[in-house]
Structure 1
Amino acid sequence: MPSPQTPLPSGFGPATTAREVLRGIDLGGRVAVVTGGSAGLGLATTRALVEAGATVVVPARNLAKAQGALAGLPRVEVAPLDLLDPASIDAFAKGFLASGRPLPMLIANAGIMATPLARDARGYEQQFAANHLGHFQLTARLWPALLKAGRAGGARVVALSSRGHQRAGVDLDDPNFERRPYDRWQAYGQAKSANVLFAVALDRRGEPHGVRAFAVHPGVILTDLGQHMTEEDRQAFGLTAADGPGTVPPGRSVAEGGDFKTVEQGAATSVWCAAHPQLAGRGGVYCQDGDVAPVLPLGAPGTVGVRPHAIDPQIAERLWALSEQLTGVRFEG
């Protein structure tokens, strides 16, 4: 039997946009929660889902800013949420569950990258806390709504990872850099590996209930995610002062054989995983460029594919147990 981590192929590619992925798909009557859905890649994701008929709930730390960015879009709701604040996560989920609605699409899009060392109120390193633990807790709290959608036809959880997962696996003995020197890029790689491992373990639990999970590398996109990059970082990526959020470096777009995507192209794989019928009956895989990605063996060069450490089911289960311990939450039902 072929590995589930094998391209379909889907017919989509690096230059495909979210609108193209959803062409002909009617999401009317369906609800999506998109964290970070009011800026950059998340905003492009929200726009594409709304255009296809979905209602999108956007959790946000800054309500006024989010409401301004989303003004004019129909069927969009904004509610407060801070992924570094467990009480805020619980409050958001409680409010959503009170509506009684099923949740067929949860896109864990929000994230931070290469930040200086900082910790949340519990003392957890913030990249691991925001990118992984916050979404772990949010998914657990929204689990009843996901199960309701699963019974009614299916639900999908999409965890935004990155090819940055290739930088580092999860140090299960010291995930919060309490005993090892802090390296902001290693911490980012760890968090992105955690996102993939979360999808692997979540899919195993959700499949019997009609809830499937996917991890996504959206591509290399210039957004505010890069706000903590130093000048040295920018030079390493070959970026100039003119290459800011929302731009694509001249001559380096995917259409020209380069790595850089627009936000609409970056959102394509997220919405493909969240809503496309090609993935019916599938889950627990890492996707990029609008398709399931191949496995990229350890030591093999390349940027297309997932490293074995990020899809190892045993590591995924160990991370799951650690995440339950650190957050104090369990998936019920």
Structure 2
Amino acid sequence: MSSFGFETTGDEIAAICSNTIRGKVVLITGPSPGSLGAAFATTIAPHGPALIILASRDNAKLVSVAESIKAIAPTVATRILKLDLASQKKIREAAAEVNSYHDVSHIDVLINSSGIMAVPYSQTTDGIELHFGVNHIGHFLFTNLIIKKLFSTDGNQTSRVVNVSSNGHELSRVRFEDWNFEHGPYNRWYAYGQSKSANMLFSVSLAARFADKGLISVSLHPGVIHTNLSSHLEYTAWPELAEIGRNLALPRFGGFNAKSQQQGVATYVFAAFHESVSMQTNGRYLEDSQVSALEDYKCWGRDPTDAERLWKLSETLVKQEFEY
């Protein structure tokens, strides 16, 4: 593991993990063309997963990714799932479809990759600020509704839930006192940061609750990669972020060393399949295809009290308590 780092590629880790990838059922949210989710799917496809489920709100884009997978690995099955993370009603419909897959008794890996970054203020159909609603609440609800598909059925299986966070979590803790930006000015970067901290705390909660059911959950920072996640941003967004970084004494936000897409997807593959991710590292945060030391990321992304507080807030916002 010590040989992995910034320049490690997804292909390199997939080759190491090839035997582990083979035969697995993998569900990925947000794998639109050009995204890291799509790159993850095409990176693991040559190693023979049994099924790749592609979940997004745009079926046409998913068909394109499925065709790319077929061109690379004709024997790998794919399935398309319509999932709109901005609507709890549609999330419930998508989860019900997954739970109706009688030929899929166990999902081995769930990659919660879908997300938005630094968009103007808006709300989901349920009245939740869009970053928090899509990046966290949507995944919280979807994961919990299908989670029995991830539990061990014989006491020997394990599964993984990978929540794609970001070093953007450094920009903001979860604002429990004003998570919906109702009592102060809206800042798109703080909203993004809050949602990325929530992704991390969600993994902490999943690890604490479901390790005894064979579930491992981690969060990760893939690196700075030029994908469609940031394609909507105007030039002034980056000086704005740099100024916020200076104000918060976060010098890394003043300039970025970008990764290629293959370098960016490496930590995805590592999180999903590498043996270094285990019950001993359950709930942790990953970067550069390594498990980060606790002191290397913000305490508000790993605090168990905040994780429990977020779980309760999330249950309130989806109007459902989850007891398994």
TM-score grouping bracket, smaller chain normalisation = 0.7 to 0.9
Partner of 2:53: 57
Q: Is 1:42 matched up with 2:41? A: no
Q: Select the residue among 199, 204, 211 that pairs with 1:200.
A: 204
SS in 1 for 2:306: helix
The answer to whether residue 288 in structure 2 is matched with residue 309 in structure 1 is no
1:18 corresponds to which residue? 10
Q: Are 2:274 and 1:276 aligned?
A: yes
Task: Give how far 1:235 is off.
Answer: 5.0
Cα distance change of structure 1 residues 223 and 95 upon mapping to structure 2, 3 Å threshold:
same
Q: Deviations over 1:180-210 (max 9, x none)?
A: 2110000000000000011111110111111
- Give the aligned partner of residue 321 of structure 1: 312
Seq. identity, %: 35
Q: Which runs of 4+ in 1 moved over 6 A?
A: none
For the 8 Å contact 1:161–1:216, the answer to whether it is kept is: yes
Q: What's 1:232 paired with?
A: 236
The residue type equivalent to 2:112 in the other structure is: A
**Conservation of the 8 A alpha-carbon contact between 2:54 and 2:78:** yes
**Do the aligned residues in 2 keep the contact of 1:58 with 1:76 (CA within 8 Å)?**
yes
The answer to which of 38-47 and 203-212 deviates more is 38-47
With 171-180 and 150-159 compared, the bigger mean Cα shift is at 150-159
Structure 2 SS opposite 1:228: coil
* Residue type at the aligned position of 2:318: T
**Residue number in structure 2 paired with 1:77:** 79
1:51-89 Cα shifts (integer Å, max 9, x gaps): 221121011111012212331413221111100011211
Q: How does 1:160-179 map to 2 (within 5 A)?
A: 160-179=164-183
8 Å contact from structure 1 (residues 159, 216) kept in 2: yes
Q: Which residue of 2 aligns with 1:288?
A: 287
> Relative to 1, partners in 2 of residues 1:91 and 1:287: Cα closer, same or farther, differing over 3 Å?
same
Note the C-alpha offset of 1:10: 4.1
The Cα offsets for residues 105-132 of structure 1, whole Å up to 9 and x where unpaired, read as: 0000010000000001111000000000
In 1, are the aligned partners of 2:26 and 2:52 still within 8 Å (CA)? Answer: yes
Q: Matched residues in 2 for 1:149 and 1:113: separation?
A: 37
Structure 1 letter corresponding to 2:146? L
Amino acid at match of 1:33: L
Alignment size in residue pairs: 298
Q: 2: CA distance between counterparts of 1:136 and 1:287?
A: 20
Q: List aligned pairs for 1:140-179, cutoff 5 A.
A: 140-148=144-152, 151-179=155-183
Residue 106 of structure 1 aligns to a residue whose secondary structure is strand
What secondary structure does 2:207 align onto? helix
Note the alpha carbon deviations across 1:203-237, whole angstroms, 9 max, x for none: 10111111010000000001111133222124568
**Structure 1 residues 332 and 224, CA, compared in 2 at 3 Å: closer, same or farther?**
same
Deviates most, 138-147 or 149-158 = 149-158
Structure 2: runs of 5 or more not aligned: 71-76, 243-255
Distance 2:322 2:42 in 1: 30
TM-score normalised over the length of structure 2: 0.87
Over 3 Å counting, the alpha-carbon distance change for 1:52 and 1:205 in structure 2 is: same
Measure the CA separation in 1 of the matches of 2:287 and 2:153.
25
